[in-house]
């Protein structure tokens, strides 16, 4: 096989997409009107696939903070955190993150992908073991490859399988990092975190939890699944992103392990990339304060999520395993999924089209994500659009074969 032949299987997918006259990937939003609406293909469109869970992208406090920081400190740092790229705002954000999570320290990365990949790759090395959920995000898998550690997968959210693999590791659990996510981005399901922690207590090891989709969404204070499950003290490292509930871009790790400060000198994803811009740091700090001060945003998000989930179930769709901010609609046939996505867009509703192998099952997904900013009327319009699809009467059960890289 020549260098570029590996991409040939993607050509049939691209042909199917081109046949509909518009690429679902990289859709251009010509104008953003609000956290929940934009102009797409010249039409006012409800945005139901943005991960803008708390609707903070237009929060006046965040916008004003970003504007002021740009005026005061410029558009970029032009350097890494290890060089000239640490401003007072970066340190303040790290202190505020540590305080928010009740941890000793925090590290801020330029993207959430870099945070997760960088921590996984740096915490482990040759001779160590990475014990990861089979449905882990691509950033986790990439970190695994870079680490050089031995990779052991356990079946998605399967505590019995996790225990079996921990038992087999024996004394090697002393240098094992267990990796889980809080809320999984494709299906919207939550990890059985209390059970994972119990197995960690029983067999040993360290635990890294990716709360990218659960910060701001779960827990009494919005700290994520670890808070909601009451096991924060048992999670050694929490990584996450600013690009969901906090409405900006960037990533972080928080921990009470003193080694986190040493990782600043070892994580290539931290050392060799330019630091977040002043505007991003400022808007994220403002958003973090809003998350802490306004629990009603989470309450509204969950009301919206339940309204959409229950409505789609009533129509007859097969959905992800539980209601939540991510609502996955299964469509077994790829052609039907592509056609359905285009029909939704024509009806003024944007969702994410997710095709294998990016999905954790053999089915395609029409993936919705809800925001606290969505109105009841918008959710009803989304339901009306889904009810008009040819597959609205229900779809066959999806394949149980799960992807190992989503």
Residues 6+ apart with CB under 8 A from 260: 104, 105, 106, 107, 237, 253, 254
395 within domain boundaries? no
Residues 6+ apart with CB under 8 A from 165: 131, 152, 154
Question: Domain check: are 38 and 184 in the same one?
Answer: no
Give the pLDDT score at 396: 43
For the segment 319-348, the average pLDDT, to the nearest whole number, is 93
Question: Domain check: are 244 and 130 in the same one?
Answer: yes
Unique residue bearing structure tokens 């267990």? 178
Question: Domain check: are 283 and 303 in the same one?
Answer: no
Q: How many domains does the chain have?
A: 2
Q: Is the pLDDT of residue 26 over 90?
A: no
Q: Is the pLDDT of residue 144 over 80?
A: yes
DSSP 58: G
b/e per residue 124-136 (b: at least 16 CB within 10 A):
beeebbbbbbbbb
Encode pLDDT of 86-128 as tens digits.
Answer: 999 999 999 999 999 999 999 999 999 999 999 999 999 999 9
Q: Is the pLDDT of residue 401 over 70?
A: no
Last residue within a domain, chosen from 293, 314, 347: 293
Question: Domain check: are 96 and 52 in the same one?
Answer: no
Give the pLDDT score at 397: 39
Please tell me the least confidently modeled range out of 151-160, 187-196, 262-271, 394-403: 394-403
Give the pLDDT score at 14: 76
pLDDT band for position 79 (cuts 50, 70, 90): very high
Q: Is the pLDDT of residue 393 over 90?
A: no
DSSP 35: T
For the segment 393-398, the average pLDDT, to the nearest whole number, is 44
Encode pLDDT of 29-44 as tens digits.
Answer: 999 999 999 999 999 9
Give the pLDDT score at 406: 33
Give the pLDDT score at 42: 94
Give the pLDDT score at 400: 37
Question: Domain check: are 153 and 23 in the same one?
Answer: no
- CATH of residue 381: 3.90.1150.10
Give the pLDDT score at 186: 92
What domain range is 342 assigned to?
A: 5-57+295-387
Unique residue bearing structure tokens 């029909």? 343
Question: Domain check: are 197 and 339 in the same one?
Answer: no
pLDDT band for position 2 (cuts 50, 70, 90): confident
401 within domain boundaries? no
- Tell me the average pLDDT of the chain: 93
Give the pLDDT score at 403: 38
The secondary structure of 323-382 as a DSSP string is: -SSEEEEEES-HHHHHHHHHHHHHTTEE-EEE-TTSSSSSSEEEEEE--TT--HHHHHHH
Percent of the chain topping pLDDT 70: 94
Give the pLDDT score at 22: 59
User: Phi first, then psi: what are they for 206, rounded to 5°?
Assistant: -115, 160
Last residue within a domain, chosen from 245, 263, 293: 293
pLDDT band for position 395 (cuts 50, 70, 90): very low
Please tell me the least confidently modeled range out of 46-50, 187-191, 194-198, 396-400: 396-400
- CATH of residue 175: 3.40.640.10
């Amino acid at each position: 096989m020549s260098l570029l032949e590996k991409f040939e299987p993607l050509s049939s997918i691209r042909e199917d997409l081109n046949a509909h006259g518009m690429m679902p990937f990289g859709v251009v939003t010509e104008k953003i009107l609000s956290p929940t609406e934009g102009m797409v293909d010249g039409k006012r469109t409800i945005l139901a696939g943005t991960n803008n869970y708390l609707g903070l992208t237009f929060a006046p406090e965040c916008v004003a903070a970003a504007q002021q920081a740009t005026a005061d400190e410029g558009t970029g740092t032009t350097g890494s955190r290890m060089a000239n790229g640490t401003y007072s705002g970066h340190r303040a954000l790290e202190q505020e993150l540590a305080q928010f999570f009740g941890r000793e320290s925090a590290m801020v990365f330029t993207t959430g992908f870099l945070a997760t990949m960088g921590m996984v790759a740096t915490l482990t090395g040759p001779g160590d073991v990475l014990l990861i959920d089979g449905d882990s995000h691509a950033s986790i898998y990439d970190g695994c490859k870079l680490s050089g550690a031995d990779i052991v997968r356990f079946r998605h959210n399967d505590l019995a399988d996790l225990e079996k693999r921990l038992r087999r590791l024996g004394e090697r659990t002393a240098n094992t990092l267990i990796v889980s996510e809080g809320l999984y981005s494709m299906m919207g399901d939550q990890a059985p975190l209390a059970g994972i922690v119990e197995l960690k207590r029983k067999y040993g090891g360290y635990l890294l939890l990716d709360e990218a989709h659960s910060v701001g969404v779960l827990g009494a204070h919005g700290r994520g699944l670890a808070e909601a499950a009451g096991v924060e003290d048992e999670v050694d490292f929490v990584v996450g992103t600013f690009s969901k509930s906090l409405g900006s871009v960037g990533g972080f790790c928080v921990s009470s392990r003193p080694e986190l400060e040493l990782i600043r000198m070892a994580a290539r994803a931290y050392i060799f990339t330019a630091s977040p811009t002043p505007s991003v740091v400022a808007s994220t700090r403002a958003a973090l304060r809003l998350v802490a001060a306004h629990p009603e945003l989470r309450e509204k998000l969950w009301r919206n999520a339940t309204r959409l989930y229950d409505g789609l179930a009533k129509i007859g769709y097969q959905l992800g395993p539980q209601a939540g901010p991510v609502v996955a609609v299964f469509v077994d046939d790829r052609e039907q999924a592509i056609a359905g996505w285009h029909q939704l867009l024509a009806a003024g509703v944007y969702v994410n089209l997710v095709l294998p192998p990016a999905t954790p099952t053999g089915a395609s997904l029409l993936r919705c994500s809800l925001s606290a900013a969505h109105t009841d009327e918008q959710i009803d319009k989304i339901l009306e659009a889904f009810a008009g699809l040819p597959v609205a009467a229900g779809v066959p059960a999806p394949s149980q074969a799960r992807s190992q890289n989503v």
